[in-house]
Amino acid sequence: MYRKNIALPQCGFSVIFRIMKLTVLLLTLSLIQVSAATRGQTISVNAENISFRELISNLRGQTNFDFIYSAELCRQERSFSVHCLDKPLEEVLETCLKEKALSFKISGTTVLIYNAVDEARQLAITGTVKDDKGEPLPGVSVKVKGQPQGTSTGVNGSFKINVPSENSILVFAYVGFKTQEFQLKGQTEVSISLEPESQSLNEVVVVGYGKQRKSDMTGSVTTIKSSDITGIRAGNAAEALQGKSGLTVTTSGAPGVAPVVRIRGIGTNVNSNPLYVVDGMMTDDIVWLNPNDIDNISVLKDASATAIYGSRGANGVIVITTKSGKPGKTAFNYSATEGVQYKISDYDVANGTQYAQLMNTVASYTNAAAPYSNPAQFGSGTNWMDEISRSGKMREHQFGVNGGSENIRYNISAGYLKQQGIWNNTDYDRWTIRANNEYKLNSKVKIGHNLGLSLANSGQGPAYRNMLSVLGASPLITPQNANGAWNSMQNLDLINPAAELALNKEYNFNDQRFVGSVWGSWEVIKGLTLLTNLGEDYYNNYTSHPQPIYTINSSHQTNTSNRFREYYGSGNTHIWTNTLTYDRKIKDKHYLNFLAGYTIEQSKNRGLGAIGQGYTIYDLDYLSLYSTPGSTANKTVETQQPGKSTRMSYMFRTNYTLMDRYLLTATMRADGSSKFGANNKWGYFPSAALGWRISEESFLKDVSWLNNLKLRASWGVTGNDKITDRAAYAVVAQSEEFHAVIDGKVRPAAGIINAFNPDLKWERNEQKDLGLEMGFFNNKLTAELDLWTRDTKDLLMVLPVKGGSVGIAPTFTNSGAVRNTGYDFTLGWRENRKSFKYGASFTGSSFKNKVTDWKDTRSVLFADWWIPNQNNVIEEGKPLGYILGYKTQGIYRSQADLDKWKAYATQKGKTAYHPAAQIGDPIFQDINGDGTINEADRTDLGSVFPKFTGSLNLNAEYKGFDLTLDIAGSFGAKILNAMYNFYSQSTNNMHVDWLDAWSSSNPNGNMPRLVAGSIAMNQSLDLNVFSGDYVKLRSLMFGYTLPNSLLSKAKINKVRLFFTGSNLLYFTKYKGFTPEIVNGMDANSYPMSGSAQFGVNVTF
Amino acid sequence: MIIALAGLGLLSSCKDYLEVTPQGQLTQDVFFSDENSIDMALNRVYSSVNWRFFRLGTMYFTSHEFGSDDVRLNTGDPNFTSANDFSNSPGNVYLERLWGRWYEYLNDCNQVLELTKKYNSEQANKYNAQARYFRAYYHFDLINVFGEAVKRDHVPTPEEYNIPKSSQEELYALVIQDLEYAIQHLPTRSEWGAANNGRVTKGTAKGLLAKVYLYRQDYANAYKWANEVVNVDKEYSLDPDYRNLFSKDGKYSVESMMPGHYIYQNIGGRLRNPYVEFQGIPGSGIGSAIFTPSDNLVNAFEAGDPRKQASIFTRGDQIEGYTKTINWSNGFDYANRKVIFPAGPWPDADFFKQELNLPFLRFADIVLIFAEAANELNKAGEAIDALEKIRFRARGNKTFEVAGVLPKITTTDKSALREAIWKERRIELALEGNRWLDLMRYERVVPNYATNLLHSLGKTNFVYAKHSKFPIPSVFIANSNGVLVQNDAWK
């Protein structure tokens, strides 16, 4: 938890609290519109020479009014003589105070008494506060030294304050900056720049259930500020994480599709997505979140940081805080961008002429006549990728209001995003509305809410057969014939991709998502805070899919009657979190922070859909289930298995700092989950971490060039329960597919087809981290390095049933273990010269992944049924999902080659080397040396994990101009390109590499013969495993802020014009759409896209 | 107030909060709480013949027809073509799915037997008898397709998940035991009554047992059980209308002993009939037509055999009620007419959804089994009579004298009669999933019979010792840690 004196200016005077209380009361009353009956109450006083204190005491005794006054008044010598009978309070006060030069104000049941003379005597001071870069600083606390009065700066950094004398001293305090005093010496206008505190050290970092000074942290956390997010392409905030320390982020490029984020490798079989915590609310994704609303992101990497999220921290935690209101003048902010998105990669398939050549080659294998006598006549033919793609427009608007007073803070925003996918008829739009408010009820109690609503529409996604067809369709066929009718492709496996996108253009997914929380905090005693937070994540999806009648391909692209599908899915998660924190500093030496809390959580989901068909007229306004004609035979119900699960957790954490240099964090969390069997519902997740700020030791304290040196070490355990909610139960399956038909009538059926496991328990993730943080030369140069290991044990996974003869679908067991080891680092340089500021940072991560226990089995990492070579496998001693396949050593170019290898086989006592091999096929390597080729000769063709990922960020500012460059790269990953030799039909088009296929007329060809069913096809070979290295200019942003002199007359605070581009440069040798492939299997990828946007941002 | 809230939270934190049973599903002890409920588990067993599983057609025909001389493939998918040109590999995905699926069905059977354990009643016996019939059917098919395979005679414990395969003899022993039990406890067709149309009967079990013995070349037993079906019980008979047998209305024909269950339903999931969808007319959009009858089959029909018209659809033929032009792919002239019926009743005017069914076992098959067994037992007269039954019906229930086609077979020469019976089997049961298995069986009866035949068709790479059975799918061998061993020929 953060220390109070950092977050807020510490107030030493009880009077301040009183005044605050008054304000709160005023506010509350006006807010809730209650007008109390204050008049009409009468009092009687008959007293001679009483003190001010006695007078108030007397009045208070007779009324239910609160009296608020400065402590100073009690000390001042005044005596009062009052004689009145049944007089209204106002009258009494009027008579007895006025003669003593005191004033009062009544509001509701509160009376404020103050020194009228002091007020009159005060001097009005105005001024502005800026930061070291000259940017106005809003929300800076401005106080008069020794006086209770205080204010804070507005949006443009300006303030007004009354001071008692022309020699008063103003005190300016702001988080992250050194507190400064300023002696007026007669000045009435003040302009001051605050100096930042030695930057990174006093940065406050959002951690689990609280905040912490970076200097006090023992955990490994990567932080991303809102300024790092503004440059990213419209859409998803997770893209901003790419290239950051410890993270592997794979972007898909499809609009509305979330990038895949992995923190420190992959340890879990089922679902390795990190946990997202947005304003305290845990969710599994952030597609619903508008990146413009984000204030900061903390990526919690090691166990010291994640253990507090024990149950769900196994794959790392990303804590996101959205923007909150800042006290000061209301600031309106409007930003708009307009841009385009375009494809930057193509799959290099044969063009018209080349395709004809390929087909001639294919014919030559069977000695058939060449089908195309003059390939050159076809020219380039149809480029199917071009036929279905376009430059998509992107548009974004965001309007926000931010401001607040001491007692209310608000940040309200609305955003709109419209993005056309680079494929025709794939659009995405999203509305977001956010209201983050905070209300201070009194000095002890605050309440607030963070409410976010997102309404998104997305179109059809790229279906696998469409991708297959884009690559396989003949360039000699045009999308439409002369009459405008869609053409069918050259074989039944392929569909017309252009038709598919056009026919399904009305396909729409409407996602409504509300994620928000209301909270209240109460400072029970000084340092002890109780916080309760009720969070809700609610979604409602509506899918609609009209389809007209068409028959293009009788097997896969046919719709014999028009159809309309509607589907509704809804679900919610609510989490109630209660924490108690205690923050205490003892004698400046010891700093203690305790956290205890518990949460309860419940998730539910349901869904139902239906398909209607045979509509009288295909009219989008008419299509609905309601208008389905005729009998129920035209209606199909679509069901979904409902789900429900609960969790419950208790957690404890201690942070202890001794003499600002010895740090200790210890965490314990207990989690219960409904998903596990009765005896294993609870899991316990401890962690401990130590830190040593060596630079604070006396022997280093005076080394001027060394500002920070911290060593930290942590150990801890986190858990995972991301599995189906029924794995522990022996459930009976009912499915329409398995009904019997007796005497022509359908008879419902039920069966026991799933194994179950009542002993299932939590997956455990044990992590160790050693970190070093350094700062040199006044912290211009900073460095942070972490070495870590992560052992995932009791993996929740579905082991294949060995031998395949059980007939029961296997279920989850706790088996297997995976180890990830790696390092991540950040190296930063930042310097501010007068008008030139610049910085550079280099971050990198590397890890090795190894399966340490897999129960002597080998299983496929994931399975898409249509991919013939599912060879990303899991096996002990290997990286998770490594590529298994055959190594080749040239091509059999003649019968002599075949004979040579047969002789080799004979010599080893085998009858044949590779029975299915023919001339033109690749020669597989006999890995096990037994003289014959079979599945045992498949070997490791590479790991799908990059050996190194990193990014280089450069930024500079000069007189209103700003430039940010972000270069990201990934090295060492291997990709199995399943499409490269996916050749199920001899007429399929192929990658241009196949032009060099072996044939009798191309006996020295470098590629195997092009024959469906040959050993080179639909198989994983070293020939279709490629390096996934890439380097890209992930983002470039160039901005210009108009000078203030131009704007001040228009009462505009700031205008910034900017250009931002994504993927403007992309370097890769990968032969496919994109080297950014999750899990290393490229079978259905979406091409990479670049984007360029112009924008304006206005604050007024 | 906050304390009160927090207090409430603590109150709710009683143990029950984490007790959430699966939504939308019941646990088995709740669901199958009485004897009657087991009927639903048995219905799941019957679902194996409802063709709802959309790969069933590809799996079934790949393993039962594609190796034979009856089909011509119209696909480049090596998973199909390898079964036809004997380039098969243990990686064939359709065989992999067949293996997996058949064991799922065996599990369904064993689950019924497990559930009935605590009951000792006539009803329970009836459940058991049906489950054991299907258990025999799928084990027998595993023998035919793979040779040696894993035996599943009870619901396994996790320790029994990965077990070695059994020999053919061990599998046959279980098959025979199961069928004998089924014969003992199953009602006859008439005892079941029309309300139970589609269920297996005492006769079905006897018929399958006859077939099992025929495959074992145990002609005495094959004769015995076929005789009971054909001459003793007389519960089944030949459908007077050969073509009707394959129509929508022929599903519960008096000839169909184990009908398929497909009916078109507009429910989620699979709409098409997998038996029909992979057949059809090449190039026309009527069916995927991945296979068609071979010219060799078409030419094998005797002149004037009315079954040719009922079985073969020829280029130029029209489909009643189908108004569009029928285009044919170059080089293809035939289609299987057993799946082409008038377009009027096609659900949604969609060929793929025709409510047609393959009879997995039918009376004509048993009659021919009887004929073959009788001939092998030197009872040529009985064999000739049985054969004539089939040909009589084929002529439209006419004698040769009346019909003028399909002369009565009169030879008493054992080998010639055998040849005639085999020829009759090919024509009568064309494209119903018998020919490939028959050919492999014939090789054992007459050495080199299938080898010579296939070689004469240019398939010279056929080696009986290897290609008569399919390899056990490699994925299961690979993950069994050496427990499941590949059959010798495929090592």
Residue A232's pLDDT is 62
Query: In A1000-1050, which ranges are E strands?
Result: 1025-1027, 1030-1041
CB A421 within 8 A of CB A459: yes
Half-sphere exposure of B275 (CA within 13 A, CB side): 28
3-state secondary structure of A314: coil
Nearest to B24 among A634, A642, A856 (CB): A642
Residue A196's pLDDT is 67
pLDDT digit string, tens, across residues A901-944: 999 999 998 888 998 899 999 999 999 999 999 888 999 999 99
**C-alpha distance from residue B25 to each of A121, A729, A735, B3 (Å):** 79, 10, 11, 39
User: Does A563 lie at the interface with B, CB-CB under 8 angstroms?
Assistant: no
The DSSP code for A473 is S
Residue A256's pLDDT is 66
Q: How far is residue A833's CA from residue A957's CA, in Å, rounded to a whole number?
A: 10
Rounded to an integer, the average pLDDT of B320-330 is 91
What interhelical angle do B202-215 and B168-185 show, nearest 10? 160
Residue A293's pLDDT is 86
A870-877's contacts with Cβ under 8 Å and 24+ in sequence apart are A870/A1081, A871/A938, A871/A976, A871/A1020, A872/A944, A872/A976, A872/A1079, A872/A1080, A872/A1081, A874/A269, A874/A816, A875/A851, A876/A851, A876/A852, A877/A850, A877/A851, A877/A852
Residue A792's DSSP bridge partners are A765, A818
Handedness of CA A88, A89, A91, A96 (dihedral sign): positive
pLDDT surpassing 60 at residue B10: no
Q: How far is residue B441's CA from residue B464's CA, in Å, rounded to a whole number?
A: 11
Q: How far is residue A1075's CA from residue A247's CA, in Å, rounded to a whole number?
A: 17
Residue A887's pLDDT is 96
Q: How far is residue A1017's CA from residue B89's CA, in Å, rounded to a whole number?
A: 14
Nearest to B481 among A734, A744, A802 (CB): A802
Q: How far is residue A1073's CA from residue A908's CA, in Å, rounded to a whole number?
A: 44
Considering only CB atoms, which chain B residues are within 8 Å of A639?
A: 268
Residue A22's pLDDT is 40
Considering only CB atoms, which chain B residues are within 8 Å of A744?
A: 197-198, 251-252, 263
| The two structure tokens encoding residue A624 | 């609905």
Q: How far is residue A8's CA from residue A321's CA, in Å, rounded to a whole number?
A: 18
Is B28's CB within 8 Å of A804's CB? no
**C-alpha distance from residue A728 to each of A648, A681, A762, A817, B129 (Å):** 18, 11, 12, 21, 32
Is A725's CB within 8 Å of B19's CB? no
């009353």: which residue's tokens? A29
Tell me which chain B residue has its CA closest to the CA of residue A675: B20
Residue B269's pLDDT is 54
Is B348's CB within 8 Å of A733's CB? no
CB A804 within 8 A of CB A859: no
Q: In what side-by-side order are the strands of the sheet with A1081-1082?
A: A1025-1027, A974-977, A1081-1082
Residues in chain A where the model's pLDDT stays below 50:
1-39, 199-201
Tell me which chain A residue has its CA closest to the CA of residue B88: A916
Q: How far is residue B238's CA from residue B393's CA, in Å, rounded to a whole number?
A: 7
Considering only CB atoms, which chain A residues are within 8 Å of B284?
A: 554
Considering only CB atoms, which chain B residues are within 8 Å of A749?
A: 40-44, 46-47
pLDDT surpassing 70 at residue B430: yes
Nearest to A674 among B18, B263, B475 (CB): B18
Considering only CB atoms, which chain B residues are within 8 Å of A604?
A: 23
Gyration radius of chain B's alpha carbons: 25
Nearest to B43 among A551, A555, A740 (CB): A740
The predicted complex's ipTM stands at 0.92
Considering only CB atoms, which chain B residues are within 8 Å of A1018?
A: 78
For an interface test with B, which of A648, A806, A876, A910 has the most B Cβ atoms less than 10 Å from its Cβ?
Answer: A806
Tell me how many degrees the CA angle A747-A753-A758 measures, rounded to the nearest 5: 130
| The two structure tokens encoding residue A117 | 């003379």
How close A490 comes to chain B (CA, Å)? Answer: 11
Closest among A971, A973, A997 to A983, alpha carbons compared: A997
Residue A495's pLDDT is 93
This prediction has a pTM of 0.78
Rounded to an integer, the average pLDDT of B211-234 is 97
Residue A5's pLDDT is 33
